[in-house]
Amino acid sequence: MRKTIVAANWKMNKDVDEASEFVYAFQEEMKDLDPNAEVVICPPFIALDAVAELLQESGFKLGAQNIHYENDGAFTGEISARMLKSLGVHYVIVGHSERRQFFGETDEIVAKKVKKALSSDLKVILCVGESLSERDGGVTEKVLERQVKAALDGLTAQQLTSLVIAYEPIWAIGTGRNATPQQAQDAHAFIRSTVAGMFGKEVATSLTIQYGGSVKPENAAELLSRPDVDGALVGGASLKADSFAKIVKSSPASK
Ligand code: PGA
């Protein structure tokens, strides 16, 4: 059995007031409902504190969108694991394609961040996914295997219990063009088999693998109905409380 996890990735959107307004509205939408899925909200750094406070009694989890792999020191503009922990952060997104693409994050950097987060008792949402030219070139599995192996190399089976993988095909992010449920299922099954090759079948079977890329209220239920699709990482459609709540409500409890 593995948990379904639905996460909101707000990216560089919302100031503190807007973030707080979202949380009030989202909690209103979810009132008296016990969501089946675990819910994670990942605001920008500046809103973590306010959102942490508002989420305190809710059971919803707080996530950050990035982390640095060093403990502290001369790294202007960066945020460490300890700093995130001090705000009550539970999860951190690592290796999002926008960070890989625009901020030069290599597989090696991603691996360091994963290790630092897990050894600091933060849960990790590790993003992997191929570009359109890689998909068209028939190398999707090769890319996924490389990214997964690089990020998980050297971890223990125990650490894998605090890790979630998000399969996010780059061509589906923010484009309105989601992967078909079958494309998502195929990629998720491949990722799971790669993890099984590294850590064994039992670890791979318990691993939550989210799909991300143009998830909306209209397509969430169908995507999440696939056997290896265990949740969603939602960008654009997580910015409005009602649309994110619809996605959460349509998600099953576990697989
Ligand atoms: P999107 O983004 O839902 O806007 O496509 C998903 C993501 O980048 O995590």
The residue extents of the domains of the chain are: 5-249
**Range with the poorest average pLDDT among 29-33, 205-209, 211-215, 245-249:** 29-33
As a whole number, mean pLDDT of residues 189-215 equals 98
How does residue 212 score in pLDDT terms, banded at 50, 70 and 90? Answer: very high
pLDDT of residue 33: 79
Flag whether pLDDT at 234 surpasses 90: yes
Taking a C-beta distance cutoff of 8 angstroms, is the pair 240, 26 a contact? no
- pLDDT confidence of residue 253: 81
Structure-token match 């590294």, residue found: 198
Residue in 173, 218, 239 to alter for ligand 1 test, most ligand atoms within 8 A of Cβ: 173
Looking at residue 4, what is its pLDDT?
95
CA of 173 to the centre of ligand 1 (A): 5
pLDDT digits (tens, 9 = 90+) for 52-81: 999 998 999 999 999 999 999 999 999 999
Percent of the residues in the chain that have a pLDDT greater than 70, as a whole number: 100
* Homologous superfamily of domain range 5-249: Aldolase class I (3.20.20.70)
For residue range 153-178, what is the model confidence (pLDDT) as tens digits?
999 999 999 999 999 999 999 999 99
> Is the pLDDT confidence value at 129 over 80?
yes
* Residue 142 pLDDT level (bands cut at 50, 70, 90): very high
Question: Using 50, 70 and 90 to split pLDDT, how confident is the model at 48?
Answer: very high
Question: Is the pLDDT assigned to residue 255 strictly greater than 90?
Answer: no
Percent of the chain with pLDDT over 90: 95
248 band by pLDDT with thresholds 50, 70 and 90: very high
Q: What is the pLDDT of residue 228?
A: 98
CA-98 nearest atom, ligand 1: 8
Give the binding-site residues of ligand 1, using a 6 Å CB cut-off.
9, 168, 173-174, 212-215, 233-237
Is there a catalytic annotation at residue 188? Answer: no
User: What mean pLDDT comes out for the span 196-225?
Assistant: 97
Confidence band for 83, pLDDT divided at 50, 70 and 90: very high
In this prediction, residues 206-216 reach a mean pLDDT of 98
Average pLDDT for the chain: 97
Residue nearest to atom 1 of ligand 1 (CA): 235
Residue 150 has pLDDT above 80, yes or no: yes
What's the gap between Cα 3 and its chain centre?
Answer: 13
Q: In this predicted structure, what is the pLDDT of residue 208?
A: 98
- Annotated active-site residue 168? The verdict is yes
197: amino acid identity, one letter: G
Q: What is the distance between the alpha carbons of residues 91 and 88, in angstroms, rounded to a whole number? A: 10
List the structure tokens of 227: 């056997």
